Amino acid sequence: MNLSLELSRDKPKIPATPVTTPSSSNPTRRQLFTPSTGYEDNSEAIKIVNQAIDLNSLEQLELIYLPGTNVHKRIQEVKKQFGMGVAKRKAKPVIQKRTPKCTAPPIRARQEKMALNEPCSFFKSLEPGIPPEFCESTAYFYRENYMKVKECLAKMLYILYNKQVFHNKLDVEITWSPRLQCTAGHCKNKADRNGVRSSRIELSDKVLTSADRLRSILIHELCHAAAWIFNGADGHGVAWRAWAARANEKFPDLPPITVCHKYKIFYKYTYKCRSCRATTHAHSKSRKRTGLICRLCKKKIKIFLNRKTKRGVRQTPVRPPLGFAKYFQDNYHKCRRNAVGGNVMRILAVEYAKEKALAEQSPITKYINKYLKFFFR
């Protein structure tokens, strides 16, 4: 020992390379991380941690080993055993992931968007998805003001179809019906005594609620009329299909003329069973509004009013009528039986006003009126 000390004394002093020891105040993992660090197995990890416990440098060791390594895991175990504060991970805020909305437009819309490089034809412009800048101006006007101008549009389409498809030889009466509730249109065929065939077309107010529907249904019914008048054929047979094919050929923008329609029908009222949730729809409200019972489970039924909004159809429960509406409901049929001419509404309004005024009178006025009525009747 002495010899070695002496030898070292004799040796010229070489300036020692400064050892970069991690300062406990500002340690950095990067400096301390060596390629071998972090790949220790369990037994090695236990040994390293035990050494660190002996040297009272567990905190420093924790800074060296990254989470996920065996040593870091062992440190956490030891800390837990000794009841030392285990570094808690900051709890991530719970974010409810919403199902991402499908941003891609449906295939048909995509195809349309791709194809829309030039202005659309009159027939194509009647479809609701076509942007205004690509629309034919007349068609756009009819499309946007459909409910007001549908009769005019029907006449215009009839002239167009008759000219292009039926050689201008079709003479058909077209009427609108509120009674067709699920059927979009109907072609009534008949033959007189002399064998002269004729047709009349009825279009549904309830189903044909847009210009593109009218465009498709009218040609379907006109093909029926043509098949009957020119070929004497009924139904969707060979003659009807031939006329439909001709129409599709003449108007390539017209969707294929089909036998059935798949239009979604808007119903103003929905009847829901409170118990079994059975649902049915109706265009008009039942006269019997209270005490409606489900056919299936014999429980009460609730009526909902459907309203079209920008977000879709909104349902609100139908409330029992109040004020004049209730008076009207209770007395309409009675009044109609007795009324002369068409003054039912007027009579009901006057009677209601009288009753209302009487109800608002003070008890003394009521008594005086009754007294006067008794003597001066």
Dist. CA 291–CA 304, nearest whole Å = 15
C-beta of 241 vs 250, nearer to Zn ion:
241
- Segment 205-224, which members bind Zn ion (CB under 5 A)? none
**Of the candidate residues 64, 153, 294, 344, the single one contacting Zn ion (CB under 5 A):** 294
User: Interaction with Zn ion in 339-368: which residues (CB under 5 A)?
Assistant: none
Site string for Zn ion, 135-164 (x = CB under 5 A): ------------------------------
Q: What angle do CA 86, 89, 93 make, to 5 degrees?
A: 150
CA dist list (Å): 218 to 42, 165, 222, 286, 331 = 82, 13, 6, 31, 42
- Beta bridge mates, 305: 269, 316
63 or 303: CB nearest Zn ion? 303
Q: Of 61 and 233, which CB lies nearer to Zn ion in the complex structure?
A: 233
Stretch of 79-87, 156-164, 294-302, 346-354 lying at the interface with Zn ion (CB under 5 A): 294-302
In angstroms, the CA 173 to CA 154 distance is: 11
Among 86, 159, 276, 353, binds Zn ion (CB under 5 A): 276
Whole-Å CA distances, 158 to 131, 144, 172, 217:
25, 20, 9, 11
Smallest gap from residue 294 Cβ to Zn ion (A) = 3
Q: Which residue in the set 203, 222, 273, 344 belongs to the binding site for Zn ion (CB under 5 A)? A: 273
372: its two tokens: 């006067």
Contact flag: residue 226 with Zn ion (CB under 5 A):
no
User: Is the torsion defined by CA of 111, 113, 116, 117 positive or negative?
Assistant: negative
- Number of residues in contact with Zn ion under rule CB under 5 A: 7
Q: Please spell the DSSP secondary structure of 119-132, one letter per residue.
A: PPPHHHHTSTTS-G
Residue 293 touches Zn ion, criterion: CB under 5 A: no
154: burial class by Cβ within 10 Å (0-12, 13-18, 19+)? buried
Burial class of residue 257 (count of CB atoms within 10 Å of its CB; 0-12, 13-18, 19+): buried
The Cα 224–Cα 241 span in angstroms is: 9
Sole binder of Zn ion in the list 296, 325, 350, 358 (CB under 5 A)? 296
Residue closer to Zn ion, measured from CB, 276 or 368: 276
* Nearest CB to Zn ion, comparing residues 120 and 222: 222
Of 37 and 198, CB closest to Zn ion: 198
Name the one range near Zn ion by CB under 5 A: 5-13, 33-41, 82-90, 275-283: 275-283
> Smallest gap, in angstroms, from Cβ of residue 203 to Zn ion?
13
Q: Which stretch binds Zn ion (CB under 5 A): 117-125, 244-252, 272-280, 313-321?
A: 272-280
| Residue 297 binds Zn ion (CB under 5 A) | yes
Backbone angles phi, psi at 305, to 5 degrees: -95, 125
Rounded to the nearest whole angstrom, what is the least distance from the CB of residue 297 to Zn ion in the complex? 3
Residue 209 CB, nearest approach to Zn ion (Å)? 19
Nearest to 177 by CA among 221, 223, 243: 221
Round to whole Å and give the CA distance between 41 and 69.
Answer: 9
Q: Which residues bind Zn ion (CB under 5 A)?
A: 273, 275-276, 278, 294, 296-297
